[in-house]
């Protein structure tokens, strides 16, 4: 995929949001140089479920394909000089250190503009570059709790409940990638560089735009907990997940009367369509009682007959067998950097009917350090000296 061919990104990113955003650009053909400490970035040292594939963490495999690895000691003056050389030939510099760290290195936006006036500087943070929380550590779970996301995902019986994935990191990455693309387009039209800032807290609020809009306008609800069975405080019945005799089924949008017809609900137990929200708890309870009497497949057949939007609730094992999932080729298996196959989630967008290929699986630490330094004017003997001095690491 060559949409961003010729665009060079120098990425001082770690954890998840920053790496995911730059991976998106790398998928589209940008030359992403991932600058890491000589002992490796955080994503090499930690990953979900305490799993590894031939020494590679899950966090590394998640957000680091289609990048070249340059291991560089920014705490040394020679390392900083290399970083400045990288910037000279870059279109985008991205980082997600806490506010102030890049300034201490002299690699903040104001200083880099002196090196490359039309640079696009993309910064990700927990809470923004200033304000009372700017210096706090920002992390997905913390922001889910702070932003209200965990509260609206919970219910009265169980209390707040975080989403089961790093949803804020992922959404923040999409916003950061989109911001960089917008800045690149503006530079193409005007010659101006610029700064792009995305923070986790704003990304979490953006994820809740529908919920917050409902909350902020009109009457304030008594609670933002989900009601029994219903998937969101601001949704009416039947919108939710229900226990069947052998699993779960999700019922989405549709008139209550249509659902009642499928369930065979007596007239005296029905909530009128117009009361689908005000009497949602009562309606959901009636639906739940009926749905529990048959299998998921039986209800699915009845709902299909009446064009009721629904689906079975998949776990990951069932997802792997889902025909649309398989048709979309939503995962891809490639040879990893160590020679052992790794399975990755595919790029989520199609371009002219195709998804970007994995040109480079997540790389070994410093795999391209020597090549990158050579591109920027360093000779072989200089590189050897830099390795000996601990300024860079090579693989």
pLDDT of residue 12: 98
pLDDT at 112 over 90: yes
- In the chain, % of residues over pLDDT 90: 99
Among 214, 270, 215, 209, which Cα is nearest to 237's? 270
Q: Round to whole Å and give the CA distance between 33 and 295.
A: 52
Quick one: angle between helices 256-263 and 296-305, nearest 10? 130
- Note whether 194 and 120 are within 8 A (CB): yes
pLDDT digits (tens, 9 = 90+) for 45-83: 999 999 999 999 999 999 999 999 999 999 999 999 999
pLDDT of residue 169: 98
Q: Round to whole Å and give the CA distance between 302 and 238.
A: 15
Domains of the chain: 8-206+348-393 (3.40.50.10540)
Average pLDDT over residues 329-336: 97
Pull the structure tokens for residue 281: 């708890």
Question: Which pLDDT band holds residue 194 (cuts at 50, 70, 90)?
Answer: very high
pLDDT of residue 17: 98
Please provide the DSSP assignment of 355-389 as one string. PPP-SSPSPPTTTTHHHHHHHTT--HHHHHHHHHT
pLDDT at 1 over 90: no
Q: Round to whole Å and give the CA distance between 204 and 147.
A: 6
pTM: 0.96
- Residue 118 half-sphere exposure, CB side, CA atoms within 13 Å? 13
Please provide the DSSP assignment of 247-276 as one string. SEEEE-SS-HHHHHHHHT--GGGPPPGGGT
pLDDT at 139 over 90: yes
pLDDT of residue 374: 98
pLDDT of residue 254: 87
Average pLDDT over residues 10-29: 98
- In the chain, % of residues over pLDDT 70: 100
Q: In 10 A of CB 335, how many CB atoms?
A: 11
Average pLDDT over residues 353-361: 97
pLDDT of residue 65: 98
- Note whether 290 and 245 are within 8 A (CB): no
Question: Which pLDDT band holds residue 287 (cuts at 50, 70, 90)?
Answer: very high
């Amino acid at each position: 995929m060559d949409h961003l061919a010729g665009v060079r990104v120098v990425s001082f990113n770690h954890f998840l949001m920053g790496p995911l955003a730059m991976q998106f650009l790398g998928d589209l053909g940008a030359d992403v140089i991932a600058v890491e400490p000589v002992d490796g970035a955080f994503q090499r040292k930690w990953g979900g479920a305490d799993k590894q594939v031939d020494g590679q963490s899950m966090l590394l495999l998640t957000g680091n394909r289609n990048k070249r690895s340059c291991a560089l000691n920014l705490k040394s003056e020679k390392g900083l000089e290399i970083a400045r050389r990288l910037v000279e030939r870059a279109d985008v510099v991205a980082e997600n250190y806490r506010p102030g760290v890049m300034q201490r290195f002299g690699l903040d936006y104001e200083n880099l503009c002196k090196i490359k006036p039309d640079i696009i500087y993309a910064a990700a943070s927990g809470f923004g570059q200033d304000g009372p929380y700017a210096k706090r550590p920002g992390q997905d779970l913390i922001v889910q709790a702070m932003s209200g996301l965990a509260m609206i995902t919970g219910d009265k019986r169980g209390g707040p409940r975080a989403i089961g994935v790093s949803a804020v990191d992922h959404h923040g990455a999409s916003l950061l990638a989109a911001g960089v693309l917008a800045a690149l387009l503006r530079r193409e039209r005007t010659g101006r560089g610029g700064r792009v800032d995305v923070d986790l807290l704003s990304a979490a609020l953006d994820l809740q735009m529908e919920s917050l809009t409902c909350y902020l306008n009109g009457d304030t609800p008594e609670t933002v907990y989900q009601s029994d069975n219903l998937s969101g405080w601001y949704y009416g019945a039947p919108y939710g997940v229900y226990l069947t005799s052998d699993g779960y089924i999700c019922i989405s949008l549709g008139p209550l009367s249509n659902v009642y017809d499928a369930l065979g609900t007596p007239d005296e137990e029905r909530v009128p369509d117009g009361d689908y929200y005000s009497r949602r708890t009562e309606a959901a309870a009636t639906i739940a009682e009926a749905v529990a009497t048959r299998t998921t497949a039986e209800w699915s057949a009845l709902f299909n007959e009446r064009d009721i939007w629904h689906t079975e609730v998949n776990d990951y094992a069932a997802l792997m067998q889902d025909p649309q999932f398989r048709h979309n080729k939503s995962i891809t298996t490639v040879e990893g950097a160590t020679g052992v196959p790794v399975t990755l989630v595919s790029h989520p967008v199609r371009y002219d009917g195709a998804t970007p290929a994995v040109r480079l699986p997540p790389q070994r630490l410093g795999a391209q350090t020597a090549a990158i330094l050579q591109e920027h004017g360093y000779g072989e003997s200089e590189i050897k000296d830099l390795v000996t001095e601990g300024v860079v690491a090579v693989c």
